[in-house]
Amino acid sequence: MAFYVKVGNVPPKRHITFYKDDGTSLYREELFSTKGFSGIYSNKYHIYMPTQVEKIGEYPIDHWDDWPDAPLQYYHFFTDEKKTTGDIITSRNAFLKNVNCVISTANVSEDSDIFFRNSFAHELLFVHRGKGKFLSEYGTLPFEQWDYIVVPKGTTYQMKFEDYNDVKLFIIESSTPFDIPRHFRNEYGQLTEDAPYYERDFKVPQFTDPIDELGSFELNLKVRDRHFRYILPHHPFDVVGWDGFLYPYTFNLQEYAPKVGKIHLPPPVHLMFTTQHFVVCNFVPRLFDFHPQSIPAPYYHSNVDSDEVLYYVHGDFMSRKGVKEGSITLHPMGIPHGPQPGKTEASIGVKETDEYAVMIDTFQPLRVTKNVKETMVENYSQSWLAE
């Protein structure tokens, strides 16, 4: 994140003695850093050594979701038709993948006492439906509908929902961090006056007392497609304080302040996060272009270096027929895409839109999984013929 946070008790300087109340035993400092020792980082102070583990096993993989002979074509599929039950790990269904990113949804239906740590990927959890608390060694982070929860790689966490009747997460895993775009920050890292959001829009973990508890604590540690089962001898949320720039935080989609133009502006104007291998953009309610002859719907375009993924959250999407909440469209690189028949004409003269959607543009091709095959609209690729 772009700003410094200090929570709980930390010593006056880093890397010095920090004694517990008994005056003789030390709290254990853990530097949690990115890009080796060169990126953003935090220092956490544990009651117990964070390296302690009693047993290591592996959870069996119960399915493979590859669809190796999937054709290169346009895809539209309904993620809500792939409803599974389970906790925040077992309910996940991957739809799109490449080496840099995995795009999944999860209809979380049950609570779990198991802790989770994604050791190889940063996570962006978009809470489409649901409300609750994200618990981690950093403290408590309340979340609600349409919050993004940004989870740094290696964070140990649990999610507790207020109820499990209708929870839906849209999840993006990334091999590199979710960053605030460089051009939204000034030379000191502060968000600029013309950025589409402000520091106050980002919510950081609230301090919670450390949990000093010995016992047997199960951790599900994800490494790409494999899940390891670690048994820890102490509660992982044993942090008495931390400070730094690296921590989970939330941002609500409705806080995004969109920009509008006289004629159609391209998607980079809707930018939310960058990573090294893809970007995330927000489409939110906004006034349309104000040139007297403007066409609000996008022109046909070929982004030859990007696969474009749109996850539809809410509202009437102006350029696409038949989409509904939970739809995903994939328009891959190598073929042009644009509005469906009638949508360009229908957009002329329209003053505003109430659409909410999340867009991901990847710089490497995505592979579609069998979950796409099971939920896709047949003949979506031919839907431009019906003029």
Residues of this chain that bind Fe ion (CB under 5 A): 308
Task: Report, in Å, the least distance between residue 298 CB and Fe ion.
Answer: 6
Indicate the pairing of strand 122-129 with strand 132-136. Answer: unpaired
Indicate the pairing of strand 122-129 with strand 168-174. Answer: antiparallel
Q: Which is nearer to Fe ion, 29 or 361 (CB)?
A: 361
Q: Please count the CA atoms within 13 angstroms of the CA of 132 that sit on its side-chain side.
A: 23
DSSP string, 296-325: -SPPPB--TT-EEEEEEEES--TT-SS--T
For residues 221 and 339, what is the distance between their CA atoms, to the nearest angstrom? 42
Task: Report, in Å, the least distance between residue 310 CB and Fe ion.
Answer: 8
Task: Report, in Å, the least distance between residue 253 CB and Fe ion.
Answer: 19
Task: Report, in Å, the least distance between residue 340 CB and Fe ion.
Answer: 13
Task: Report, in Å, the least distance between residue 76 CB and Fe ion.
Answer: 14
Task: Report, in Å, the least distance between residue 270 CB and Fe ion.
Answer: 11
Q: In this structure, what are the phi and psi dihedrals at residue 318, rounded to the nearest 5 degrees?
A: -70, -25
Which among 117, 104, 287 is positioned nearest to 217, based on CA atoms? Answer: 117
Q: Which is nearer to Fe ion, 173 or 308 (CB)?
A: 308
Q: Which is nearer to Fe ion, 256 or 283 (CB)?
A: 283
* Coil/strand/helix, residue 149: strand
Task: Report, in Å, the least distance between residue 319 CB and Fe ion.
Answer: 9
Q: Which is nearer to Fe ion, 179 or 308 (CB)?
A: 308
Q: Which is nearer to Fe ion, 158 or 282 (CB)?
A: 282
Q: What's the sign of the alpha-carbon dihedral 257, 259, 265, 269? A: negative
Contact 224, 173 (CB under 8 A): no
For residues 266 and 278, what is the distance between their CA atoms, to the nearest angstrom? 16
Alpha-carbon distances, residue 135 vs 225, 236, 266, 290, 360 (angstroms): 24, 11, 37, 45, 27
Q: Which is nearer to Fe ion, 141 or 333 (CB)?
A: 333
Tell me the residue number closest to Fe ion, measured at CB: 308
Q: Which is nearer to Fe ion, 289 or 308 (CB)?
A: 308
Task: Report, in Å, the least distance between residue 358 CB and Fe ion.
Answer: 14
Q: What's the sign of the alpha-carbon dihedral 346, 351, 356, 360? A: positive
Q: Which is nearer to Fe ion, 57 or 261 (CB)?
A: 261
Q: Which residues contact 293 (CB under 8 A, 6 or more apart)?
A: none
